[in-house]
């Protein structure tokens, strides 16, 4: 049963004292869109959004500030989204195929499991590498289908593997092993070669949480946000061994794993996290070590963009099988690690990136990113019209106009698909 059905039609919505601001869309005949940074024409509004699932507190706060009433929903099969008046967006953490039949836009894209489920992503990246020669991720095997291949290849590989259940998150049930005969799995799993030479900062392993926004699946239209999180392990790194292979706080950077003792002395004040911009500053301060000539921002961003672009291209055939949904969009969290030679490797893409804002750093990064996300996607207001003249459009023209329209509100987001100037170096 779908998770998006609603608890009650008697739910009372608090009156929002903030004004809602609207700006014109560039799409001919299209409705005006909400301006989350308060541009355009501003007036009182009775419009609402529904919120279903695990919703971070920052989400309703952003919509309230924009003059839109958030309605918190619980699961119930007695009523549907469309029975709420003036709803302009259904914001939810997950979606099922039937959920895309509603007339109101939804905060999820069809076919997302092509890249958010670990075994699907591994399959798609392996196929893509065979077809193009592009390798953006550590070598991976999806079990049980590739167990025999893993056994055969293990004779030529002397390092450790990291084993991840396909649908797990927050570091749950992950373990390291060197002997494939020790593998324990009761359902789909991904076995990935452990990166043997991770880049370290003050002796600690880390990865980057990169935010990815998709606003169209056929054709693909995707963006990367330049600011994100750098997440550190809480114990100093040492190469995996039989003695330390179970020390997950050495080998994993998931904040949920490391949160018990995450005050790292050498990174005091950040609770085990930096912003990506702080990571860039660190590289520039040590530019002679890395040979970057103070251009770390360009180098790192290009490598991130290249990873995300190719990961989504690897999945586009699977995504194209799903019907394009008008005004649907999805926000995802990609985990990228750098090796000691500054090569970027994609580890996974998460369906529900954590949006909690319990620290000032999290609030600063995530709130700004989310505001610019909602601006870019264009939350449309029914019964309003932009000044652009009406004209009959074919599919290609509609897509091009969508790109132009989103470009007009792009903020700091960087478009990586369709291809523009995404470079490896």
pLDDT tens-digit series, residues 23-66? 999 998 888 999 999 999 999 988 998 888 778 899 999 999 99
Using 50, 70 and 90 to split pLDDT, how confident is the model at 13? Answer: very low
| 296 within 8 A of 280, measured Cβ to Cβ | yes
Q: Does 276 map to a domain?
A: no
Q: Does 167 map to a domain?
A: yes
Q: Does 23 map to a domain?
A: no
Q: Does 187 map to a domain?
A: yes
Q: What is the pLDDT of residue 17?
A: 73
- The mean per-residue pLDDT over the stretch 178-200 comes to 87
- The mean per-residue pLDDT over the stretch 14-25 comes to 82
Q: What is the pLDDT of residue 379?
A: 92
Calpha distance 363→369 (Å, rounded): 10
- Count how many domains the chain has: 1
Residue-wise over 325-348: b if at least 16 C-beta within 10 A, else e? bebbbbbbbbbbbbeeeeebbbbb
Q: Does 149 map to a domain?
A: yes
- The mean per-residue pLDDT over the stretch 278-282 comes to 94
Calpha distance 148→218 (Å, rounded): 35
| 274 within 8 A of 267, measured Cβ to Cβ | yes
Q: Does 388 map to a domain?
A: no
Calpha distance 34→37 (Å, rounded): 9
What range does the domain containing 165 cover?
139-194
Using 50, 70 and 90 to split pLDDT, how confident is the model at 67? Answer: very high
Write out pLDDT tens, residues 374-384: 999 999 888 76
Write out pLDDT tens, residues 250-269: 888 876 676 655 444 444 44
Q: Does 75 map to a domain?
A: no
| 32 within 8 A of 381, measured Cβ to Cβ | yes
The CATH number that applies at residue 150 is 3.30.1490.20
| Virtual torsion, Cα 32, 35, 40, 44, nearest 10 deg | 80
3-state secondary structure of 41: strand
Name the region of 383 (left: φ>0; alpha: ψ -120 to 50; beta: rest).
Answer: left
Q: What is the pLDDT of residue 183?
A: 82
* pTM of the entire predicted model: 0.89
Please enumerate in sequence order all residues whose Cβ is within 8 A of that of 156, keeping only pairs 6 or more positions apart, or say none.
Answer: none
Q: What is the pLDDT of residue 321?
A: 86
Output 192 or 1, whichever has higher pLDDT: 192
Helix axes 360-377, 58-65, angle to 10 degrees: 50
Write out pLDDT tens, residues 194-211: 999 999 998 999 999 999
Write out pLDDT tens, residues 111-126: 999 999 999 999 999 9
Output 391 or 236, whichever has higher pLDDT: 236
Q: Does 201 map to a domain?
A: no
Q: Maximum Cα–Cα distance for the chain, whole Å? A: 69
Whether the CA torsion 57, 63, 65, 68 is positive or negative: it is negative
Calpha distance 349→118 (Å, rounded): 8
Write out pLDDT tens, residues 388-401: 555 556 667 889 99
Calpha distance 185→144 (Å, rounded): 8
Average pLDDT, the chain: 84
């Amino acid at each position: 049963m779908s998770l998006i059905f609603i608890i009650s039609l008697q739910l009372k919505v608090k009156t929002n004292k903030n004004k809602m601001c609207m700006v014109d869309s560039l799409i001919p005949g299209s409705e005006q869109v909400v301006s989350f940074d308060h541009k355009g024409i501003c007036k009182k509004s009775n419009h609402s959004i529904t919120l279903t699932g695990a919703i971070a507190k920052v989400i309703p706060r952003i919509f309230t500030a924009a003059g839109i009433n958030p309605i918190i929903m619980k699961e119930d099969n007695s009523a549907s989204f469309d029975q709420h008046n003036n709803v302009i967006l259904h914001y939810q953490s997950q979606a099922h195929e039937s959920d895309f039949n509603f007339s109101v836009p939804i905060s999820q894209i069809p076919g997302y499991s092509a890249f958010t489920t670990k075994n699907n992503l591994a399959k798609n990246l392996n196929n893509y590498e065979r077809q193009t020669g592009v390798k953006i991720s550590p070598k991976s095997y999806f079990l049980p289908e590739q167990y025999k291949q893993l056994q055969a290849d293990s004779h030529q590989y002397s390092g450790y593997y990291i084993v991840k259940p396909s649908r797990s998150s927050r570091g749950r049930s992950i373990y390291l092993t060197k002997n494939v005969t020790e593998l324990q799995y009761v359902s789909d799993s991904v076995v990935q070669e452990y990166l043997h030479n991770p880049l370290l900062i003050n002796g600690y392993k880390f990865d980057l949480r990169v935010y990815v926004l998709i606003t169209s699946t056929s054709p693909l239209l995707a963006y990367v946000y330049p600011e994100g999180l750098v997440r550190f392990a809480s114990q100093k790194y040492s190469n995996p061994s039989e003695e330390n292979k179970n020390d997950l706080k050495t080998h994993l950077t998931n904040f949920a794993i490391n949160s018990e003792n995450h005050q790292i002395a050498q990174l005091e004040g950040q609770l085990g996290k930096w912003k990506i911009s702080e990571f860039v500053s660190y590289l520039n301060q040590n530019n002679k070590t890395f040979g970057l000539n103070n251009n770390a921002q360009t180098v790192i961003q290009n490598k991130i963009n290249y990873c995300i672009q190719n990961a989504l291209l690897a999945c586009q055939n699977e995504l194209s099988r799903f019907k394009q949904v008008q005004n649907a969009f999805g926000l995802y969290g990609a985990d990228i690690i750098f090796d000691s030679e500054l090569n970027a490797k994609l580890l996974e893409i998460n369906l529900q990136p954590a949006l909690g804002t319990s620290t000032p750093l999290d609030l600063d990064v995530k709130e700004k990113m989310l505001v610019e996300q909602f601006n870019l996607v264009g939350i449309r207001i029914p019964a309003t019209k932009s000044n652009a003249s009406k004209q009959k459009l074919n599919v290609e023209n509609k897509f091009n106009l969508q790109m132009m329209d989103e470009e007009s509100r792009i903020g700091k987001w960087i478009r990586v698909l369709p291809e523009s100037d995404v470079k490896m170096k």
